[in-house]
Amino acid sequence: MSSEGRRTFGARVAELRRQRDLTQSELAAAIGRTASWVSQVERGIQPVNRLDVLRLLADGLGVPLHVLQPEAPSAEASQGGAAEETTPNDLDQARLVISGHSALDVILDPREDFRADLLPELRDEVERLWRLTHGDQFAELSEALGPLLPRLERAVRTASEELRPELHRLLARTYQALAAAFVRQNEADVAWLAADRAIRAAELAGDRLGVFVGVFRLVHAFVRLQRLDQAEHAAATALNTLARHAEAESTAEEELSVVGSLHLALALVYARAGERPAAREQINKARTVAARIGGERNDFNLEFGPTNVEVQAVSAAVDLGDAGEALDIARDLDTSALSVERQARLLMDLGRAHVQRRQFGDALAHLLHAEAIAPDLVRSHIAARSAIRELMLMAGRSASPELRGLAERSDAMG
């Protein structure tokens, strides 16, 4: 969709919304998006290219698909007559940007024209990208990525030799943020691509620890794809290599953060595989590393520290079906120093734990709290939607308005 096409489409959406007397927030709630996403669509910033998202938007506006987008194919014509079923998210634009190569013109016409005075601006943009990632602000992240990624890809090819290592490091951090965001939005195939590019960029930067961070992101993509053998191989290989270098008392804390995070990633793999002793062993190893550090850190945006280890221990316990253990670990756990994403993840896992124990009121309260601070996480996370679905099935016709609303917003019964 061209920029003019996006503006025309956005104006059509705005007009249809006003005809139905809906605010942007009301339309966003009806289709499980954010108000900022709707605003960006109406201003022609956010493209809407996927058929499933067009259908969702048309349903929210109460119009047939062809009224919203005359050029869209009919349901019968798509997929041989079968409607496409995918979970919509706010990273559609980011998915397009990462598809293909962002600096093809430089490949054909190589030249050195990057200005060193632009480095501070690029550093700030990458920091902002991570703040949006940690805050689960995916529509804003997608919008920011549109101009940033091509700029970085061009910069690493047109800068002087002395500037390229830092630019490659910024590019690696950008792809790491994308990998983390795509995993949370259940777009694991693109997360795999982003993680692989992060590994390559970190290697070109000479950032040895950044390579291992890229592997950490790759492991999470494999887990979301349910390729646990690949996840285990990637995490174990990285740990076996890095842990030998982390045994010395003089090991830098940022290196310990990476080691501890890889232990947590491997614990996740074992928990999803139902291997209880192995998962607990990795959690305990992460606790040992966190004790060496002594406090909360955010090296490489990993948020590794004693509190985050316990947050992950709760998640592993829930995955293993040990709800009582999860609730015991979480008792008196203060996550206020962690990001919104980690706080919401703990609340979501506690909701799942209460579902396992058939404590439905507590389960709903935790899931609603998680949604209040990170709606995209609850809407896109398979385990959260599964827990909400189970609550709805058990409540049946007696489901409360709060539960019904949560199920509708997360499309848990779809």
- Digit-coded pLDDT (tens) for 113-157: 888 999 999 999 999 999 999 887 888 888 888 889 999 999 999
The C-alpha R_g of the chain, in whole angstroms, comes to 22
Q: Would the pLDDT of 82 be above 60?
A: no
Of residues 49 and 125, more confidently modeled: 125
Nearest-5° Cα angle at 300, 273 to 164: 125
C-alpha to C-alpha distance for 45 and 38, rounded to whole angstroms: 10
Nearest to 104 by CA among 157, 35, 66: 157
* 85, pLDDT greater than 70: no
For residue 25, pLDDT over 50 is answered with yes
CA dihedral 198, 209, 319, 31 (to 10 degrees): -30
Query: Is 78's pLDDT higher than 60?
Result: no
* DSSP label of 22: -
CA gap 50, 64 in Å, rounded: 16
Determine the Cα–Cα distance for residues 346 and 367; give it in Å rounded to an integer. Answer: 10
Query: pLDDT value at position 1?
Result: 59
Between residues 165 and 27, the one the model is more confident about: 165
pLDDT average, residue stretch 200-224: 96
283 backbone dihedrals φ, ψ, rounded to 5°: -60, -45
**Residue 286 confidence (pLDDT):** 97
- Asked if pLDDT for residue 79 goes beyond 60, the answer is no
Q: State the pLDDT confidence band at 209, using cuts at 50, 70 and 90.
A: very high
pLDDT tens digits, one per residue of 164-194: 999 999 999 999 999 999 998 888 999 999 9
At 190 the pLDDT is: 93
Contact, 55 vs 83, CB < 8 A?
Answer: yes
414 residue type, one letter = G
Higher pLDDT, 195 or 383: 195
Closest listed residue to residue 274, CA positions, set 219, 237, 316, 212: 316
For the chain, the 3-state helix, strand and coil shares in percent, each to the nearest 5, are 75, 0, 25
Question: To the nearest whole number, what is the mean pLDDT of the chain?
Answer: 88
The number of angstroms, rounded, from the C-alpha of 328 to the middle of its chain's C-alpha atoms is 27
pLDDT of residue 89: 56
Higher pLDDT pick, 105 / 389: 389
Under DSSP, the state recorded for 252 is -
398-406 mean pLDDT: 91
Q: Could you give the angle at the alpha carbon of 185 between the alpha carbons of 63 and 351, nearest 5°? A: 100
User: At residue 353, does pLDDT exceed 90?
Assistant: yes
- The label of the residue with tokens 């993840």 reads 345
User: How high is the pLDDT of residue 80?
Assistant: 43
Predicted local distance difference test score (pLDDT) of residue 381: 81
pTM of the model: 0.78
Quote the crossing angle between the two packed helices 306-319 and 253-272, to the nearest 10°: 10
The reported pLDDT for the residue numbered 103 is 82
pLDDT number for residue 256: 95
- Mean pLDDT (whole number) for 197-225: 96
Contact yes or no for 197/156 (Cβ under 8 A): no
Q: Measuring CA to CA, how many Å separate 23 from each of 7, 27, 64, 395? A: 19, 6, 20, 31
pLDDT at residue 411 greater than cutoff 80:
no
Say whether pLDDT at 382 is over 50.
yes
Phi/psi class of residue 338: alpha, beta or left (left: φ > 0; alpha: ψ in -120 to 50)? beta
What is the rounded CA–CA span in Å between residue 99 and residue 89? 17
Helix axes 3-19, 35-42, angle to 10 degrees: 120
